[in-house]
Amino acid sequence: MPPPPGRFITFEGIDGAGKSTHLPALAQRLGRDGAAVLQTREPGGTPLGEAVRDWVLHRPMDALTEALLVFAARREHLRGVIEPALSRGETVVCDRFTDASFAYQGAGRGLALDHLAALESWVQQGLQPDLTFWFDLDPAQAARRRAAARDADRFEREEVEFFERVRAGYAARAAAAPRRFVRIDSAVEPSSVAAQLESALQARGW
Ligand code: TYD
C-alpha cells in the first residue's frame, strides 16, 4: 500500500523535557498555509484511549499489562483517528507514540524489545511517523523542572535512574532511525528550542 498523503509528526522525550510547551505552537505553524492540522496524544486520542491513559498513569499494574494497554489504545487511535486524518491529507501532530513504548516500557521497565517490536508491527502494519522530534534533556534537570509542576503520575514519580534508562532508550531509537528523528536540545531557553523546530521544518521544505 502506498503511504497515506498526510504528514505524521510525533513529539517525544522524558517527562519534564518541555515538549508540551512547544506542541501547540508547532501545530499552529504547520497550519499557517491553510493545511488542516490534527493535534492529538498518546495514550489517548479516542474515548477508549483516554480511559486507558487514566489507568496507565494512575493505577499500579504489571509492566507487560502496561505495554499491552498502550498498544491496544494505539490501535484504536490509529484506526479511528490517525489513519483517517492522514488519508484525508491532514497533518497529524501527536504528543508521544511508539518510541515512548520502547523508551518507557522497554528501556525504562525492562521489557524485551523484540516483544515490543512484534506489537509495533502487529498494530502499525508498517506505518511510522514521518518526523519525530526528540526533546532531549538531562534527567536531573528535567526532575527540577517537574518539581515545580502539578501532582505527579506513576511515571513522573520514578527515580532519576529510570529516566536515565528512558533517555538511553530514546537515543537508541534515534540511532536506529536517523532520518525520522530530530534531536532537540531542550536545555536551552524556549525561543532557542522553537528555532531548532523551525529549522527542522525548513530543512524538509515544510
Ligand atoms: P505525558 O505525555 O508526559 O503527558 P503530561 O504532560 O500530561 O504528563 O504523559 C504520558 C506518560 O505516559 C509519560 O510519562 C510516558 C507514558 N507513556 C508510556 O509509558 N508509554 C507509551 O507508549 C506512551 C505513549 C506514554
Instruction: Name the pLDDT band for 1 (thresholds 50, 70, 90).
Output: low
Across the chain, mean pLDDT equals 96
Q: Which three cell numbers stand for residue 78?
A: 490509529
pLDDT digits (tens, 9 = 90+) for 58-69: 999 999 999 999
| 5 pLDDT above the threshold of 70 | yes
Atom 9 of ligand 1: nearest residue by CA position: 15
Mean pLDDT, to the nearest integer, of 89-115? 98
What distances in angstroms separate CA 82 from CA 73, 117, 142, one per listed residue?
12, 20, 30
Mean pLDDT, to the nearest integer, of 12-36? 95
Those residues with Cβ within 8 angstroms of residue 192's Cβ, 6 or more apart along the chain or in another chain: 185
Judge whether 134 and 181 are in contact, CB under 8 Å.
yes
Task: Classify strands 131-136 and 8-13 as parallel, antiparallel or unpaired.
Answer: parallel
Given the CA of residue 41, which atom of ligand 1 is nearest to it? Answer: 2
Given the CA of residue 108, which atom of ligand 1 is nearest to it? Answer: 19
From ligand 1's centre to the CA of 43, what distance in Å? Answer: 7
Question: What letter would DSSP give residue 186?
Answer: T
Residue whose CB lies within 8 A of the most ligand 1 atoms, among 15, 54, 186, for a mutation test: 15
pLDDT digits (tens, 9 = 90+) for 156-197: 999 999 999 999 999 999 999 999 999 999 999 999 999 999
Residue whose CB lies within 8 A of the most ligand 1 atoms, among 62, 74, 93, 155, for a mutation test: 155
| 3 pLDDT above the threshold of 80 | no
pLDDT digits (tens, 9 = 90+) for 125-149: 999 999 999 999 999 999 999 988 8
pLDDT score at 66: 98
CB-based pocket (< 6 A), ligand 1: 15, 20, 42-43, 70, 95-96, 100-101, 104-105, 155
The model's pTM: 0.96
From ligand 1's centre to the CA of 191, what distance in Å? Answer: 24
All domains in the chain, ordered by first residue: 7-203 (3.40.50.300)
From ligand 1's centre to the CA of 28, what distance in Å? Answer: 22
pLDDT digits (tens, 9 = 90+) for 64-85: 999 999 999 999 999 999 999 9
Mean pLDDT, to the nearest integer, of 192-203? 97
